[in-house]
Structure formats: C-alpha cells, structure tokens
Amino acid sequence: MPVRSLRRSARFPGRLAVLLPAALMAGVLSFTGSVTGPAQATGGNAAAAGTAAAASPSGCWMVASDGGIFAFGDAKFYGSTGNIKLNQPITGMAPTPTGGGYWLVASDGGIFSFGDAKFYGSTGAIKLNKPITGMAPTPSGAGYWLVASDGGIFSFGDAKFFGSTGAMKLNQPITGMAATSTGAGYWLTASDGGIFSFGDAAFHGAAPSRPARGSRTVTGMVPSPTGGGYWQASTSGELLAFGDAPDFGSGVSNPNRPIVGMAVLPGSGRASNGPGTPAGPGTPPPTGPATPPTTAPGPLMPAQTFSSTAIPSWGTVDDTGKPGYAQLVVTAAESGNRLLVGGEFTGLVDQNGAAVNAPTPYLMELDPDTGQPIPGSTFTATANPDGPVLALLVAPDQHRLYVAGKFNHIGGQTMRRLAALNLDTGALDPSFNPPEPNAYITALALSGGKLYFGGAFTTLAAPTGPVNRPGVAAVDAASGALVDSFAPPQNYGGVFETHTGRPVEDSNGSYTPGVVQALAIPSDGKSVLVGGSFLHLGTAPADDPNHQHAGLVSFDTSTGQLTPWQPISKRPVFALTVWPGDGATVFAAAGGAGGVVEAYQPGGKSTNPAWTGHVDGDATGVAATTTRVYLVGHYDHEVPNANDPCLKLSPQPPDGHMGVSCPNGEAHRHLAAFDAKTGAVDPSFTAQADTNEGPDVAYAGIRHLYVGGNFEKVSDTPQANYRHQPGLAIYPAAS
C-alpha cells in the first residue's frame, strides 16, 4: 500500500497529551483487535518468561505531543509532525527494525510514517471507546500493536493478540506498551508506572520503586534488545532503566512539550555515547540528515473516491441452480489488511476463472490488495460455517468478528445464526452466548457496548423462555446476554412486494411482517435506524394508512421505542450506512418503482431526505466515504429527473411483467457514485456489472471499495470492456 501525505487540521491546544511506547524490535501492521485474555498485573510484581539476545542499543528517540522528535546517541532524525496541524495529539512512537525510520501514532489511532517505516493500518476510521495511547512493533517488522487508555489492544500485520486490560477496572489509565523480543508477549504500563504482563513478557521492575524527579506521570515504556529489561519514561522527560536496559542518563530536562513517546536504536554491541542534542519539534539534530529522506512520510488516509476498474481477483463459482449467474456474495468486512467475505457461495475460482479444489463455503479471508485467499488461512479453515453468512461486523476492541446468517455450526462448534469468532483463528468465542433467534439474521450494528441485530426472526430463545422481538433485538456485546430494556414495539404486519415495491397488507388472518434488512447507528449513539420490507413496524395500519413510515423507522437505542423523529419512507429499504463525513447523516438504499439512494438526518428538522438520487431498478447496497456515496443494485441507469415518467411501473418486455426501465438515463449498470453533500451523480465513476440482478452489497474499506453479488463480469466502460469477475469485485482507491 502506498504511503500518502500527512493530514492537516486544527492544532491541539495547550499543553499536550501524555504517552510513550516502543523499542526497536519491529514495525509494520495488519489490523485485528482485542479485549480479553489472562493478564498478570503488577505495580511491583508481575509475570514471567524468557527472551532472546540482541546487540546493545546505541541511542533512542523521544517524541513530544506535537510530534517533535528528540534524538539521543546515534539515533537519527527522519522527520516529525512538529510543524503540522494535527487532528489529535501524538501519543506514541515505534521504530523500524533497521533503525532507519519510525512511526508516530495519534490519540485517534492515525499513523504517521517516517524514513523506511511503512503504513499497514490504523484505527483512524474507527470509533474508539478510549483514545490510543501507545504502540509497539513486532520483532519481524511485519506488524505492530496499538493500545488504548483502557488497555484495549489493536493488532496489525503479524501482531498477535495475547490479552488486554480492556475488561479490567484500572486504578490509572494505560499510557504505553512494549513487545518482547520473541513477539509472543507484551507489557502495558499505566500512568502510575504499574506494569501489566501478557504472553511471555516478564516483570523487571517498575517506576513506583524509584524516587521521582518531581511530579511523575509515566507515559510509556521500551524493552531492552534482550527482553531482560525495559525503560519507562515520564512526561517530564525522566528516563528509568530496569533489568538489563542500559542507563542513558536522567533523560530530558524541562521539555517545551510533555514527552509522550520513545523508541530505542539498536547498536552493534558498543556502549552508547550518552544523550545527544535534542532535535526539537521539526528540527533535525546535528547527527541527523539535513533533510528528511525521500520516502513520503505520513499515514495512509481513508480513500475519498475509488477507481472504476476492479483489480483481477478471485471470485465465486457458477450458480448451478441459476444458469448465467455466480454464487452470491452478500456481505464484506475489512480488518486491517484482511478482507472477510460472506454469502451463499460454496466455492471459489481464481483470477483466471479456474475452479479451486479447496472447499470454501460461505465465509472466506482474502488479501484486499490482490483479491486472493490468505495462504493457509487458519481463520477460513476453522470458521467453516455450514450455512449462508449474511452479515459480518468486526469488533476490534473485543478482538472478534460477529457473524450472522443461516448457519447452525461455525468455528468448530454448534452455534445457530449468530456467533462471535476469534479474529485470528476463526474459532468460536465461547464467552459470547446470545439467545437463539427462530429465523435468520441479516444485519448487525454495534454501539455503546450493545450488539444490535435484525432479520426475519420473531422470537428469541432466552434462558427464561421465548421472548418476542419483531425482527430487531440487542444483546450485551461482550457476553451475548439479552438486553431486556431494548424492547421494540409490535410489528403489525404487511410487506412490500418484491421488485415492484407494491405495499401488500395482511388479510384473512394472514401475518406477513416482512424482514429487517439493515441497521445503522449514528455516532451520537442515540438512535438505531431500521430498514426492511415491513409496512407497519411500530405503527398500526390505522395510524399510517398511506405508508408514510414503511420500510424505515428509528428506534431509541436504550428502550427500543420509536423516537420522536421518524423518517418519511414509502419504499422497502435494503441497506443503510452512516456518512463518515459527519457521523450523523444516514444513507439508505431502497427499491420500489425504480430505486433510490436517500440522505436522512436523524433528529434533524426535516423528516424527509435531504437529497434523493434515482435509478431504474432496486438499489440494494450503499457505501460512503467523506465525499462520495456508492450505490449498487439491480438497475441499468441513473435518472437525473425525479419526475421522469420512465420511473413509473409499466409492462416490460418480453413477458409483460411490471417494472421500470429508463434507457434514456445515464448508463450506470448496477453501480453509480453520488456527491455525498448534494446527491449529484459523479460522471467519472463508470464501473459496470452484468446479469439482470448484479451487485447486492457495497462496503467501503480504508483503501478499497468491495462489491458483492451474483454478477459474472465487470467493466469500467458502459456497454464495453467486460471481463470475467464473478461474485466479488474490488475497486482500489483513486484518491
């Protein structure tokens, strides 16, 4: 992945934050997450295990909260954020194995790369429970960890999860971390200097045992090369050595900004020269290069737009029950440099269309840059569900992948329709035990420690007996226990008829409640929008005879009751996504007479959409970046004029079925992009897909747009250049 330019925003005011981690053991990333695991907590006593020998360090770096770098000994300056306006303050750093570069991490998890440091992932686009306070590299240089102030761990690249303090009640916040020389463990340090050891990390002492040089707030730690010791550093510049960690002196005296990070330079076995000249924010030290190296520093920022040309990637096999179509991909999720894909497929074809012998039913792990399966993936082999997967949700804080669908067995054990898997291994997480729904699940959302799910179910099998839930429910995200207080109102029945979107009321004692297809929770966490094919979820037919609140409703996330603000909707809604541009606007993909993408602002003054884009077929999936909304579905054209007569239902050839066709519209077969603020169509995005149905889902990752469905071919040009790419298409970032 290329490293992109640094982001700029408002400077963090006043005296800046605290923290420091990392020794020179590694540094590159791939995303996973964390939150449980055995810890040996020590404010003076701690855990145990061995280490490997290494050369003595010959210098180190410290970093201030504005990203200014201080270099000591032989450590060289490779760049800083000292003269850059940051969105959030720098809270930690980590060196590369060569000593030729380093990473800085901000409190939002944004990564800044300097020298030979490469970007492999961040939490910059994730809503965090607590801020990131440090990082540590793996020994191989192919991964790193980020730690939050509650001790939650986020793993990237080859970094493995060994436990966290995420489920513990801490006396003081976690302010830094360091990894062992084997990469099979790590330490966390709290602001009072207490140490928490995981994996093979051993305890060698802690700051509380040493006299303080004035006020002391420990902001991070770095291991010695052997793993037989470590350093702890404080905001005042104090540097404490433990075990076999060499003593570099007392540290920095009276820095202009609080010290928040540190990294050690490995040497060739000789002793350090002692402290060098502090570089100061943005200024190279005398021993460093006159200018930063040619590698462009900075984090890989989330894409704003995507290419119209999909990469050649693996796809799904032909659907033998539906000639001319590929087996269906229904859901996708990204975790660092891993792509997780679910659906109704039972096998794969490679980028040349050749069938693959290895069985890969319903859930697979791919490399997003190549679209190829991860070689020897333990996750894919272990997860192995026995039925379709219809929804995926990565929960990095819990180090979990939530999986929902129609399966009865997953992760090596029996678990029906809703499960939590270990992100690394694919094994079932036995600590998550949700009530079993009586029908399949299609949608997942996570907020405020609760997992919300929607689908075709009407009851849940709780320990006390069946509990009624009208296709929407919530459980505790950690344990899976039913949240009794979230009790949505009755579904009075009635359904939108498929494709045409015609509302059909129940009659003669029938009960057809429709299916919940989508959930979305704005960043304030107050409401959950629920989309589907229902007519009367929460509102009796007599109170809504014109179906003003059909297909889309808003529930209070605490009580499950209808919120005062209710969207005006007269269509079946198949997908929802929250706009990352403001965290508040919700985009809906809907069907009916033609299809639409609509921009709602929950809790706002208007209950009508802020803008609506029209297409001539069902819109089934939607994804968004800060500037664009990507819509996929069963349409052929975007229709600029909302009043165009072609958008009315009429008999269609060859059999006279009722439908919509607008051949004079803008040719966007199955895919289109809209301006996120205005709804204007983006003419530069010209991706196309074949088959009458085509895509079913769209998911925007950090640097890729993932589109799944039952199409066989894709193109970057209307009515031309189609090539084989069945079931899954991956579009790389354009900007």
pLDDT, tens digit, 9 for 90 and up, residues 543-594 = 999 999 999 999 999 999 999 999 999 999 999 999 999 999 999 999 988 8
| Residue found under tokens 């970057």 | 716
The overall average pLDDT reported for the chain is: 81
Query: Which range, of 135-149, 271-285, 558-572, 617-631, averages the lowest pLDDT?
Result: 271-285
Residue 42's pLDDT band, with cuts at 50, 70 and 90, is very low
Residue 301: pLDDT over 80: no
pLDDT at 280: 34
Higher pLDDT, 251 or 68: 68
- 144, 156, 217: which is closest to 186 by C-alpha? 144
Residue 94's pLDDT band, with cuts at 50, 70 and 90, is confident
Query: Which range, of 168-172, 269-273, 351-355, averages the lowest pLDDT?
Result: 269-273
Q: CB of 42 within 8 A of CB of 197? A: yes
pLDDT at 124: 66
- 9, 19, 3: which is closest to 84 by C-alpha? 9
Residue 24: pLDDT over 70: no
Query: Which range, of 109-113, 184-188, 515-519, 714-718, averages the lowest pLDDT?
Result: 109-113
pLDDT at 635: 94
Give rounded-to-5 percent helix, strand, coil for the chain. 0, 40, 60
CA distance 557 to 529: 9
pLDDT at 626: 94
Query: Which range, of 57-71, 88-102, 167-181, 429-443, averages the lowest pLDDT?
Result: 57-71
Query: Which range, of 68-77, 482-491, 711-720, averages the lowest pLDDT?
Result: 68-77
3-state secondary structure of 105: strand
Can you name the CATH fold of 433-684?
Lipocalin (2.40.128)
Residue 125's pLDDT band, with cuts at 50, 70 and 90, is low
Residue 275: pLDDT over 80: no
Residue 209: pLDDT over 60: yes
Q: Give bridge partners of residue 556 from the DSSP assignment.
A: 527
Residue 382: pLDDT over 60: yes
pLDDT at 212: 73
Residue 659's pLDDT band, with cuts at 50, 70 and 90, is confident
Dihedral through CA 125, CA 126, CA 130, CA 132, nearest 10? -50
Q: CB of 205 within 8 A of CB of 189? A: no
Q: Which residues contact 612 (CB under 8 A, 6 or more apart)?
A: 596, 597, 598, 599, 642, 679
Most confident option among 119-128, 207-216, 453-462: 453-462
Strand order in the sheet with 229-234: 20-21, 218-223, 229-234, 239-243
pLDDT at 213: 62
Residue 266's pLDDT band, with cuts at 50, 70 and 90, is low
Higher pLDDT, 251 or 378: 378
Residue 35: pLDDT over 70: no
pLDDT at 153: 87
Domain boundary assignment for the chain = 20-266, 301-425, 433-684
pLDDT digits (tens, 9 = 90+) for 601-646: 999 999 999 999 999 999 999 999 999 999 999 999 999 988 888 8
Tokens of 582: 């403001």
Residue 328's pLDDT band, with cuts at 50, 70 and 90, is very high
Residue 4: pLDDT over 50: no
Question: Distance of CA 137 to CAs 35, 92, 182, 541, 618, Å?
Answer: 19, 12, 11, 59, 47
**CATH class assigned to 20-266:** mainly beta
